[in-house]
């Protein structure tokens, strides 16, 4: 097995930073050493197969994006990134592990949905991957099937309080699923929006001729996210089921999570880059149909109401524990344009898997986050939350050699073409400038990205069986 020495860099963890060399042996990290260390009296750099000079740069654990949707069928079409194209784009951006979602709908078997997603991903991924399980139809059969998830290496599942007729679970179904999850130690992930109320508001807007993408955000009002978040918290409290609320976008929903945590609840939340940078006014309100590029759920929130500022604050105070992407890309042509004349038919999703590490680093540059918090939010906490800690999210002996060399003096211009590798005909982030650059990416010891380009391959990425969350008490 090949050996690699990453020398001269500053190793950044969730708890600090230190000048150190990182020795990689095969697929794992063998040692973190004082700079210039020797091996049996010999220069270590002369004893390895490859030396990566990280002088003046940060050496961080590869990113863990715990919320992606490759090839997800939605709204009469499917997410445009395959597991091959999506994981390649992730690698370009310094993400070395994704956790995607296997899907079961009402009337379908959980086992069949999981098998289908294994078939989509196997032999196609450039980086390692794992699965959550969507339970879109809570019934006796699906509840029984949940009992086998831990043995399959899947220790979290997702419910939806939105999308009636597609994935929606009512309160009785949520209660039953949470009871089962509490018994099994599974983490309940929740899409917290009041779906039936949203459908009423959306229908009323369309009837009134308000059909542009902007009204997607109006129909999915923050009150309906706050209400659903509170209801999910109460059901979790009743059942003693740990709760993880996905893609939190409204400051009022954050307040519900903070209240629950302050009262000792085992409740967590994630946000996404779009809720930190983008807004109802600037993006969803773009002229004509242009706002469709930024239609996602939960929706972008009003900048005038201060949601974006509050999200950054919540990341600093740990009221929100991590940042994922909810990567679910759709092209404008042939996909987003399905909703011309009716925002309800626009496929919901934004492509960000390639840009999360950069966008969050820009928060370091602007003083929103520390370097350590950047690593914690994007790598270490996702690994701990979802049963990957020890293998992923840390630079430590025995961990997988998922390592990123990041240049704080570099620059990244986000857009299409050469600076965009997702399978999309546009970018939600086109025009954004990042004061930093992903220089080298290793996935289990293999250099997949460096200054010469992309060296990864489909099939290098392996399915990772997850343990129980290390955040659950």
CA distance 227 to 118: 35
DSSP annotation of 377:
I
**Is the CB of residue 434 less than 8 Å from the CB of residue 62?**
no
How crowded is residue 439: how many other Cβ atoms within 10 Å of its Cβ?
A: 18
Quick one: pLDDT at residue 37? 84
The model's pLDDT over 151-165, given as tens digits with 9 standing for 90+, comes to 999 999 999 999 999
Distance CA 106, CA 261 (A): 32
* pLDDT one-digit tens code per residue, 368-414: 999 999 999 999 999 999 999 999 999 999 999 999 999 999 999 99
What stretches of 414-459 adopt beta strand conformation (E)?
433-434, 437-443, 446-450, 453-454
Count CB atoms within 10 A of the CB of residue 76: 9
Neighbouring C-alpha atoms within 13 Å toward the C-beta of 237? 14
CA angle 294, 163, 177 (to 5 degrees): 125
Contact criterion met (CB below 8 Å) for 215 and 184: no
Instruction: Reply yes or no on whether the pLDDT at 279 is more than 80.
Output: yes
Count CB atoms within 10 A of the CB of residue 275.
Answer: 27
Q: Give the separation between CA 85 and CA 96, rounded to whole angstroms.
A: 14
Question: Are the C-beta atoms of residues 354 and 421 closer than 8 Å to each other?
Answer: yes
How confident is the model at residue 418, as a pLDDT?
63
Gap between the Cα atoms of 14 and 381, Å rounded: 9
Query: Are the CB atoms for 426 and 293 separated by under 8 Å?
Result: yes
Any idea what the Cα angle at residue 466 is, between residues 464 and 470, rounded to 5°?
140
CB atoms near residue 142 (< 10 Å)? 24
- 303, 274 contact by CB (below 8 A): no
At residue 366, does pLDDT exceed 70? yes
Smallest Cα–Cα separation from 156: which of 127, 195, 130?
A: 130
- Identify each DSSP E strand in 66-215 by its residue range: 73-74, 77-78, 95-105, 128-136, 156-160, 187-191
Give the residue-averaged pLDDT of 69-77.
93
- For the chain, helix, strand, coil in percent to 5 are 35, 25, 40
pLDDT band at 36 (very low <50, low <70, confident <90, very high): confident
Q: How many CB atoms lie within 10 A of CB 452?
A: 7
What integer pLDDT is reported at residue 41 of this predicted model? Answer: 64
Which CATH architecture group holds 1-473?
Alpha-Beta Barrel (3.20)
Give dist(CA 368, CA 373) in Å, integer. 10
Residue 214 in this model has a pLDDT that exceeds 60: yes
Indicate whether 458 pLDDT > 70.
Answer: yes
Residue 7 three-state SS: strand
Tell me the domain boundaries of the chain. 1-473
- For residue 424, give Cα distances in angstroms to 115, 328, 331, 417, 427: 27, 11, 5, 10, 7
The DSSP letter of residue 163 is -
Q: Work out the percent of the chain whose per-residue pLDDT is above 90.
A: 94
Please give the Cα distance from 109 to 153 (Å, whole number).
18
Mean per-residue pLDDT, 166-172: 97
> How far apart (Å, rounded) are the C-alpha atoms in residues 157 and 419?
34
Q: How confident is the model at residue 14 (pLDDT cuts 50, 70, 90)?
A: very high
| Mean per-residue pLDDT of the chain | 96
Yes or no: say if 331 and 80 are a contact pair by the CB < 8 Å rule. Answer: yes
Position with higher pLDDT, 472 vs 146: 146
Model confidence pLDDT, tens digit, residues 112-135? 999 999 999 999 999 999 999 999
Which residues lie across from 52 on neighbouring strands? Answer: 6
| Alpha-carbon span 280 to 296, nearest angstrom | 11
Summarize pLDDT for 333-365 with one digit per residue, the tens: 999 999 999 999 999 999 999 999 999 999 999
C-alpha dist (Å) from residue 12 to 153, 407, 434 = 29, 13, 19
Percentage of the chain exceeding pLDDT 70? 99
Distance (Å, rounded) from C-alpha 84 to C-alpha 458?
6
* Mean predicted confidence (pLDDT) in 8-12: 98
pLDDT at residue 376, as a whole number: 98
Report pLDDT digits (tens) over 141-151. Answer: 999 999 999 99
pLDDT at 417: 64
What is the pLDDT, as a whole number, of residue 420? 87
SS3 87: helix
pLDDT mean over 11-34: 97
pLDDT at site 441: 98
Average pLDDT over residues 426-431: 94
**Strand positions, DSSP E, 261-354:** 267-271, 322-323
Q: How open is the CA angle 227-232-236, to the nearest 5 degrees?
A: 150
What pLDDT, on a 0 to 100 scale, did the predictor assign at position 317? 97
pTM over 0.95: yes
DSSP 94: T
């Amino acid at each position: 097995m090949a050996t690699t020495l990453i020398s001269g860099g500053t190793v950044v963890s969730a708890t600090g930073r230190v000048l150190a060399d990182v020795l990689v042996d095969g697929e794992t990290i063998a040692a973190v050493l004082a700079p210039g260390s020797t091996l049996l009296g010999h220069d270590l750099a002369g004893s390895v197969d490859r030396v990566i000079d990280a002088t003046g740069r940060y050496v961080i654990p590869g990113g863990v994006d715990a919320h992606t949707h490759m090839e997800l069928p939605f709204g009469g079409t499917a997410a445009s990134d395959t597991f091959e194209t999506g994981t390649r784009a992730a690698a370009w951006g310094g993400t070395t592990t994704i956790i995607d979602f296997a899907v079961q709908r009402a009337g379908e078997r959980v086992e069949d949905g999981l098998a289908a997603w294994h078939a989509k991903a196997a032999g196609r991924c450039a980086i390692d991957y794992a699965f959550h399980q969507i339970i879109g139809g809570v019934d006796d059969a699906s509840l029984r099937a949940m009992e086998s998830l831990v043995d399959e290496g899947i220790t979290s599942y997702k419910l939806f309080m939105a999308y009636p007729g597609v994935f929606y679970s009512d309160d009785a179904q949520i209660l039953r699923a949470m009871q089962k999850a509490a018994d099994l130690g599974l983490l309940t992930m929740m899409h917290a929006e009041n779906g039936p109320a949203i459908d009423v508001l959306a229908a009323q807007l369309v009837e009134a001729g308000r059909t542009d993408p902007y009204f997607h955000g109006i129909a999915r009002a923050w009150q309906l996210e706050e209400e659903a978040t509170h209801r999910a918290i109460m059901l979790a409290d009743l059942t003693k089921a740990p709760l993880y609320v996905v893609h939190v976008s409204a400051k009022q929903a954050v307040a519900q999570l903070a209240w629950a945590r302050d009262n000792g609840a085992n409740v967590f939340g994630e946000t996404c880059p779009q809720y930190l940078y983008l807004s109802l006014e600037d993006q969803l309100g773009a002229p004509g149909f242009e706002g469709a590029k930024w239609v996602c759920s939960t929706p972008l929130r009003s900048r005038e109401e201060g949601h974006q500022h509050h999200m950054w604050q919540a990341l600093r105070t740990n009221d929100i524990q991590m940042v994922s992407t909810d990567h679910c890309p759709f092209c404008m042509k042939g996909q987003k344009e399905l909703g011309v004349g009716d925002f309800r038919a626009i496929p919901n999703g934004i492509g960000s898997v390639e840009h999360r590490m950069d966008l969050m680093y820009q928060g370091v540059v602007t003083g929103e986050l520390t370097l350590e918090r950047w690593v914690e939010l994007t790598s270490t906490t996702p690994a701990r939350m979802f049963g990957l800690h020890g293998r992923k999210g840390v630079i430590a002996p025995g961990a997988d050699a998922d390592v990123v060399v990041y240049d704080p003096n570099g620059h990244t211009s986000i857009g299409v073409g050469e600076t965009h590798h997702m399978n999309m005909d546009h970018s939600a982030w086109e025009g954004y400038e990042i004061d930093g650059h992903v220089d080298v990416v290793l996935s289990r010891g293999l250099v997949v990205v460096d200054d010469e380009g992309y060296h990864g391959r489909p099939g290098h990425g392996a399915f990772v069986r997850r343990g129980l969350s290390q955040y659950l008490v």
